[in-house]
Structure 1
Amino acid sequence: MKNFRRALIPLAMFPFKNIVYAQKKDSIPHRVLAFVTDKFPQTRDFNLEYTVATPYKYTSSLQGINQPDNKVQSFQQVKANANIYFIKQKRWILNAALNYRYTSMNTENNSFFFPEENTKGDFHYHSEALSVTHISKLFNKIALYSATASIDGSEQHFERVRGMLTGALILKANAKTKMTLGVAIMIDPSTQVPALPIFTYEHHFNNGWVADVILPKKVMMRKDVFSNGRISLGTEMDNNSFYLYRTDRRYEFRQLEINSGVIYEHNLGSNLIGSLKTGLRVMPRARIFDKEESFKNYIFETTSKPSFYFNVGISYNPFRK
């Protein structure tokens, strides 16, 4: 599931961002072009973020046996992402997505996260994906078909090769409302769900607020403030994942994170955007499983208490115009 969530945003934005690149000479309404040149594009070309969370307690079980309660005393994470476009033709788009994530955790007591008697761990995760998208028409509406191949790993090894097929149909695109519907099919033995629906919805209200929905990724209400700022209120899903190495075995850690709170973004000019995020983070479940198995065949599981998080980021978007 994690690769699906990571690829969901670029896919959801294809109907508005990439179609403009590919079909500027076609009869695309001018109001759709205006949406794409928004000073806060949803897909950032180059993005860097730093996140810190307050301490939180968690319970765990190892191979079905309950473990003593533990506490994450500190949590820090750095993310770097790049979306690079190679081909932007009338009907075809070829792009690559590069992702790196560094996670540092310090717990009160040793757990399966860390070897031997350590209570601190530093984890590196990276993924690289190549996507090709074809733009056509279906039922007299613009349709997008995409195929993605990706590989991920740690600082020690490349680990998994995955694939994903997606299709999306633009149901509506006018001055106030944009709506798409699609499906994503994952080619990955470790995934929890082989196929998931995709739904995006944006609606501009008369009072200046905008509903911004990308399911299952996020539900937001946002509004432009000041001359170059934007505030967003709502909930978005994220994930934390990395690989662990114990003796001659390789394991994968996956954790779903639901972040609810406020986001402030500010256009700094010269295609730079700064952001601040804060709120409540809920982590309903995390598991560690053998890399050769799937998420449901886990050996270690945790349930965490909520915590507060703070995130600061900056992005550079030279390809948005």
Structure 2
Amino acid sequence: MIKNNIKIQICIGLVLLSYNIHAQNMVSMSSLHPETDTAGTDKRELAIRYPDLRQFGVSATHFGYSDFDAKLNDADFAGGKIRTERINTFFNTPAVKWNGNSLSASINYTYTSTELKDISNTLPDQELTPLTRDKSNFDLALNYSRSAKIFNHPIIYSLVARGITDGVNSFRRFNLNGSFNLPLKKTEYTSFSVGLLVLIDPSAPIPVEPIINYYHKFNSSGIELIVDLPNGVNLKKEIAKNAWFKIGSNQRSYTTFYDRHNAFLDGKVSYNTIELKSGAAFEYLFAKNIILTIDGGFNSFLSAKLFKDGENYRNASFDSDNKGTGYVNVGLSLLTF
């Protein structure tokens, strides 16, 4: 049984990895599930199915220690243990709609506490020291989408402009992504669409990647299959009234900014990780519009890089191999639909 579970987790991870998945800070769920494409689908049902479509949410995540080995300019630099604690909040504004157009905004806040310990340095003249750092980021996005027709077939175009800052006076990074989505099938229990996403972001592994959205509810078992690439793959089942159990893998990207002045990092830098969480979750809807989420599992690091100003994903001077670790998360979210 344990071996089968491991195989399932590996398969899901490989599927996601094959799409070079990344992106809480690069991809907006509004571009993948625009409100202009919800005709005939209950908004409340969609928000229960896709957590990022809810109007407000707050969560706290605890991670175990992870071993890491870092390289600086392709040379072995340092190793040790790293642990991260995060608090995330988001708010999605109601959409303004007109003539097939939809405009909305989203605000994300992330508090990150990072601890380094048991450091072993390889380069004698450049030393990484144990430390604990607390940082905050604000992520602001403007989401525009339009539904239209091409060759008599519906198509949804989306554009997301995003700015990330570690303070209230300046933005440290601007990202832009555009996408189109072709709905191919929509029935009472099944929906399927495909598309393409273009990313303008220095921390993105590739500039273009596919979008695949597939949903199916199996009537005999009540199990829901939710394929939402590049974000995740999940199986979900209602186990009691207003209570659901879910297993799957979901990815996110995180950015933390630092101002460092030493021998190997001089100036403004950003630490970017692409992480894949595989595990189980329990969700319970109470007080009509509030959802409690408790989940945990294994967190894998698909990428961990430190960028200086002017560097991108392919030429980042600092690259770290972070091992996976366990995680536990508790969150509350608001539907208000």
Q: Same fold (TM over 0.5)?
A: yes
User: Quick check: 1:125–1:152 contact (8 Å CA) kept in 2?
Assistant: yes
2:300 aligned with 1:289: no
Conservation of the 8 A alpha-carbon contact between 1:39 and 1:267 = no
Contact 1:85–1:93, Cα closer than 8 Å, also in 2: no
Equivalent residue for 2:329, pick from 311, 315, 319: 311
| CA-CA distance at 1:39 after TM superposition | 6.7
Q: Is the 8 A contact 1:8 1:217 kept in 2?
A: no
Rounded Cα–Cα distance in structure 2 between residues aligned with 1:181 and 1:237: 19
Q: 1:13 is aligned with what amino acid? A: H
Percent identity (aligned): 23
Matches within 5 A, 1:96-111: 96-109=105-118
Query: What displacement does 1:294 show?
Result: 0.5
Q: Deviations over 1:96-136 (max 9, x none)?
A: 01111111011214699xx9855111122221111211111
Amino acid at match of 1:278: G
Matched positions, count: 304
**Cα RMSD (Å):** 2.3
Q: 1:148 aligns with which of 151, 156, 160?
A: 160
Separation (CA, whole Å) in 1 of partners of 2:330 and 2:120:
29
**Which residue of 176, 186, 193 maps to 2:199?**
186
Instruction: Give me the TM-score of the superposition, normalised by structure 1.
Output: 0.87
1:1-321, aligned counterparts within 5 Å? 3=23, 6-14=26-34, 17-20=35-38, 28=39, 32-34=40-42, 37=45, 40-42=48-50, 43-72=53-82, 74-109=83-118, 117-155=129-167, 157-206=170-219, 207-247=221-261, 249-318=267-336, 320=337
Measure how far apart 1:41 and its partner are. Answer: 4.3
Tell me, yes or no, if the aligned pair for 1:110 and 1:119 is still in contact at 8 Å.
Answer: no
Shift of 1:178: 0.5
CA deviations over 1:218-251 (Å, ceiling 9, x no partner): 0111111111111111111112211121135111
CA–CA separation in structure 1 for the residues paired with 2:78 and 2:319: 13
Distance 1:190 1:305, change over 3 A: closer
Q: Residues 246 and 7 from structure 1, CA distance in 2 versus in 1: closer, same or farther, beyond 3 angstroms?
A: same
2:41 is paired with a residue whose SS is: helix
User: Deviations for 1:10-35, whole angstroms, at most 9, x for unmatched residues?
Assistant: 22222xx4434xxxxxxx5xxx3347
1:35 to 1:159, Cα distance in 2 relative to 1, 3 A: closer
Contact 1:202 1:210 in 2 (8 A): yes
Unmatched segments (≥5 aa) in structure 2: 1-20, 122-126
Give me the TM-score of the superposition, normalised by structure 2. Answer: 0.83
